[in-house]
């Protein structure tokens, strides 16, 4: 097992310190990364918590998955490696068309 956890359905008002305090009930938290939207600067509602051992990570999953945290039932499970996604830049490079193409 891994000791890095995905934490989803977090309240937008939760801070990294709130999350660290909550997860420290299961053991030693080595890091917390709350994912922030670049455009708005607000939390996206999920993040990652790294526990010091695999056993503490499993304990955190058992204790907190599906449980209430600041008014929301959070999801806690082992974080999967980040998948590479193709960079298509929002399909901006496909052209707009719009004009008639039968005239030269």
Residue with tokens 């891994």: 2
What's the pLDDT score for residue 2? 82
The fourth-level CATH superfamily of domain 1-67 is: RRM (RNA recognition motif) domain (3.30.70.330)
- What token pair was written down for 21? 């305090």
Does the pLDDT at position 90 exceed 80? no
What's the pLDDT score for residue 86? 79
Residue with tokens 């455009």: 39
Residue with tokens 């051992």: 53
**Domain boundaries along the sequence of the chain:** 1-67
What's the pLDDT score for residue 44? 95
pLDDT digits (tens, 9 = 90+) for 28-73: 999 999 999 999 999 999 999 999 999 999 999 999 999 999 999 9
pTM (2 decimals)? 0.78
């Amino acid at each position: 097992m891994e000791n890095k956890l995905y934490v989803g359905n977090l309240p937008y008002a939760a801070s990294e310190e709130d999350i660290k305090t909550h997860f420290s009930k299961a053991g030693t938290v080595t890091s917390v990364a709350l994912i922030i939207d670049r455009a708005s600067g607000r939390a996206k509602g999920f993040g990652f918590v790294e526990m010091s051992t695999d056993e503490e990570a499993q304990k955190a999953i058992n204790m907190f998955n599906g449980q209430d945290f600041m008014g929301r039932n959070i999801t806690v499970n082992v974080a999967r490696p980040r998948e590479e996604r193709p960079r298509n830049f929002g399909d901006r490079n496909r052209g707009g068309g719009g004009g008639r193409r039968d005239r030269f």
